[in-house]
A and B are shown apart, each in its own frame.
Chain A
């Protein structure tokens, strides 16, 4: 079986990060004869996540989950020889990426002449209830020999699951501080974070290393750090590292090794959840504050794991839920004056949150691996 995954990088690293993770997961779970190709339009972003990518190459074979994957540059598809252009059995269009015409036409022609072929619209991850009713929804293309479906990632039982690998890099924990934290979100004012952290560490007589990752949250995080330091004076308990962008494996190792993470979008969220440590999620900004609906849906599927911890779990859930909402309300597209964020809950109840996180992660690893669900679906569709 040959699967092609089409990736169009929209505005950051999230799309290619999920696609590269999906490639690894599919090769972990797929049959021996599974051949995987990635059609990627932005090799600079791809290289940022995987340093083995040669940004100048048109075609490259990359090691992946103990096997290999073929990466194809979208702009060079029409220069490939016929052997390379062999139509796949399955086309996965990730996040609305349209298959280039030069690739789609032979695929449709092969489907019309030979055995049936499948196109999957891989959608964005959501915990909303509709993920279950839209998952595996047919999307008739009306072309002979082609079946097309939506494949909707999600946390709920009948949704498509999460993109992750069974392989987990060894936890990475730079520094000697008591706490290791990472900040990787969209634009945000982190003033409350630094103030709360300073107070918390002072009370506990502890120290923390905070990795501020490059990207959209860096400027806001560093500017607010400077403001708080100017206001409060020296804060030797906090070591702030202006952390350059790291590849996917290193980021995963840091998330596994750290104690608290601010994450965003999809890929870093899933990694934080699976690491089992406390985290705070910033959803991708959407018109009219719709990201808060996504956040509420995530809280809803997470809540039963707090309830298993009894009254204290419920109490902590209320505090965590408030912080998720406050963080996502304070967004660039909102004129409202949101409530002040209070971060201490993530550190004061760290043990409880870690216990809840590990239990949830363990269950997700068992039952919600997207690549397994995708391969099972393709098998049931007789691909």
Chain B
């Protein structure tokens, strides 16, 4: 069994007869003696996507899944193409099935693809990825506190808030769980 508190983006779980995959974690709210988490889930049996809420103590049946290491090749619009690193077989996954993963993956990146009954349903990402800032306003020297932030765009197209001291062209480390800036890295 798995509890709602253990659900992550990409987790596939069974609620009764429904098989659901978590596409997005939208936050947890705490009341007296309990917490409720809000998710965006896709029903793998009907293909429908919806918002859902669960108490963190709710438990679900775990699903037997296949996980394969694959390489992200390219995307054509909303279709993302991956190649099985062992069999060289090609797979297509639609953007809506990838959750927030398109914000953090790049061509040539190895990722783990989750399959349910032979069909790719989600991507498992590393918790931290390094990406390059391709656009931001000029950095402010001297402000190294990291508290004041400014908008920036990464090479994946993802828009993120970064500290004022970061510069265009620099590389930063991003937490894929919530899409936030972690630190500046040297490349």
Chain A residues engaging chain B, CB cutoff 8 angstroms: 10, 95-96, 121, 123-124, 126, 128, 130, 133-134, 137-144, 150, 284, 286, 290
Contact = CB atoms under 8 A, between A and B. Distances in A.
5 contacts: A95-B33, A123-B36, A138-B51, A138-B52, A140-B15
A126 B31 contact: yes
A229 B34 CA distance: 41
Interface of B: 14-18, 20, 27, 29-34, 36, 38, 41, 43, 50-55, 57-58
A134 B52 contact: no
B36 A134 contact: yes
B20 A140 contact: yes
Contact of A134 (B17, B53, B58): B53
Contact of B55 (A96, A126, A284): A96
Given A134-B29, A140-B16, A142-B16, 18 more contacts: A10-B33, A95-B33, A96-B57, A123-B34, A124-B32, A128-B29, A134-B53, A137-B51, A137-B52, A137-B53, A138-B52, A140-B41, A140-B43, A141-B16, A142-B14, A142-B18, A150-B53, A286-B32
A297 B34 CA distance: 19
B17 A121 contact: no
B136 to A, nearest CB: 30
A369 B27 CA distance: 27
* Ranked 3 nearest A-B pairs via Cβ: A142-B16, A142-B18, A142-B15
A56 B116 CA distance: 53
B22 to A, nearest CB: 12
A216 to B, nearest CB: 14
Nearest to B26: A133
Nearest to B31: A124
B30 A140 contact: no
A141 B17 CA distance: 8
A139 B32 contact: no
Nearest to A143: B16
A181 to B, nearest CB: 26
Contacts of B36: 123, 134, 150
B30 to A, nearest CB: 6
Given A138-B50, A140-B52, A150-B36, A290 B16 contact: no
A95 B34 contact: yes
A344 B94 CA distance: 63
Give the one of A128, A142, A284 with max B CB within 10 A: A142
Contacts of B29: 128, 130, 134
Contact of B15 (A96, A128, A141): A141
B42 to A, nearest CB: 12
A144 B53 CA distance: 18
A366 to B, nearest CB: 26
A140 B41 CA distance: 10
B94 to A, nearest CB: 22
Nearest to B41: A140
A286 B33 CA distance: 8
B74 to A, nearest CB: 35
Contacts of A10: 33
Nearest to B58: A139
A145 B1 CA distance: 23
Nearest to B17: A142
